[in-house]
Chains A and B, each alone.
Chain A
């Protein structure tokens, strides 16, 4: 396949153009570049349900490969991945029965795969609080505060205005700050 020692150093726009041209080697480098970010977003959107998060991450990338010829702007690839993954997560959350306590469904305190040795008490409290937010708010907050996406991009993604996104993030931030109090 396309290769050479320099391939790993290729810029993203070149990789996207080649992947659009059906070059799997270039696409693999894009997957390597983004898989952790997309998987982490799915994991936190889905309350730590790692199996579902893995499935949605895989679906997101395979869909990206198939739809790449339609993504005309080489610089828009990352945004496209975030958009697709977020929408898939929101769909899954919608399908979950709202009457069921999510914590019962996905016990998360002890065997949370997102939990690592470095996890702090404050971070635990934050993860817990995130689960209580409405999915749209959670998506807006995660995309902005953890993944650094722009207000405009998030607005396009959830089908609203940047002002409304700012509102949702403000609301989420106030809710989360409320929970952080005991850890002061």
Chain B
């Protein structure tokens, strides 16, 4: 590599040789004796210490940055897909429907809703078919939990929007265990 030509020490070795040796954890006798290598080593250790300071340096995020990002993001949501609401001339955003379903599913312990697909059944204005990916907590009783989630989601959608859930398919895409 060209790098080795760029920073030769007077003893014929390079700064990178010294770094690699320090990195390996088994410094050679040469490194302990050679004044050039020891100088390079001191510089590298100084650099490592300054780098650690840089990593820990608490840079302040500008005030309002989060709000500005989220304002742009929320303005963008309004462009999401819509479905008709009942027979009235009102459109309902699909992301909003998905939020209702996810909220209901999340309420069941051991399940986390992820992505949610919603389709109208045969173009009827009030019946949907839903498929949702979920993460499931590892352990017993999860079939019951999924049944419960299916029931709650259907109830919530009917109660809040007036839609009937014809079917709700879960696809388990991840399993988690509680830490400790």
Interface residues of A (CB under 8 A from B): 1-4, 6-7, 10-11, 13-14, 17-18, 20-24, 27-28, 31-32, 35-36, 39-40, 43-44, 50, 54, 57-58, 61-62, 65-66, 113-114, 116, 118-120, 122-123, 125-127, 145-146, 163, 167, 170-171, 173-174, 176-178, 180-181, 183-184
Query: Considering the chains assembled together, what is the distance between the CA atoms of A120 and B54 in angstroms?
Result: 9
Partner of A21, one of B50, B59, B66, B98: B98
* Given A4-B107, A14-B114, A120-B53: A22 in contact with B80 (beta carbons within 8 A): yes
Q: What residues of chain A lie closer than 8 Å to B15, measured between beta carbons? A: 173-174, 177
Q: In the complex, are the beta carbons of B59 and A40 less than 8 A apart?
A: yes
Interface residues of A: mostly helix, strand, loop or mixed? helix
Interface residues of B (CB under 8 A from A): 1-3, 6-7, 14-16, 19, 39-40, 42-44, 46-47, 49-51, 53-55, 57-62, 65-66, 68-70, 72-74, 76-77, 80, 94-95, 98-99, 102-103, 106-107, 112-116, 133, 135, 174, 176
Q: What residues of chain A lie closer than 8 Å to B43, measured between beta carbons? A: 177-178, 180-181, 184
Partner of B69, one of A31, A50, A170: A31
Query: Considering the chains assembled together, what is the distance between the CA atoms of A63 and B33 in angstroms?
Result: 54
Q: In the complex, are the beta carbons of A17 and B115 less than 8 A apart?
A: yes
With both beta carbons as reference points, the residue of chain B lying nearest to A50 in the complex is identified as B62
* Given A2-B102, A18-B113, A167-B2: A43 in contact with B76 (beta carbons within 8 A): no
Q: In the complex, are the beta carbons of B65 and A170 less than 8 A apart?
A: no
With both beta carbons as reference points, the residue of chain B lying nearest to A1 in the complex is identified as B99
The 5 A-B residue pairs whose C-beta atoms are closest, nearest first, are A17-B114, A22-B95, A177-B43, A174-B7, A122-B50
Q: In the complex, are the beta carbons of A62 and B106 less than 8 A apart?
A: no
Chain A to chain B contacts (Cβ below 8 Å), 24 pairs: A2-B102, A4-B106, A7-B106, A11-B135, A18-B102, A18-B113, A18-B114, A22-B95, A22-B98, A35-B69, A36-B59, A36-B61, A39-B61, A57-B65, A58-B72, A118-B53, A122-B53, A123-B50, A126-B51, A127-B54, A174-B7, A176-B47, A177-B43, A180-B46
Query: Considering the chains assembled together, what is the distance between the CA atoms of A50 and B19 in angstroms?
Result: 33
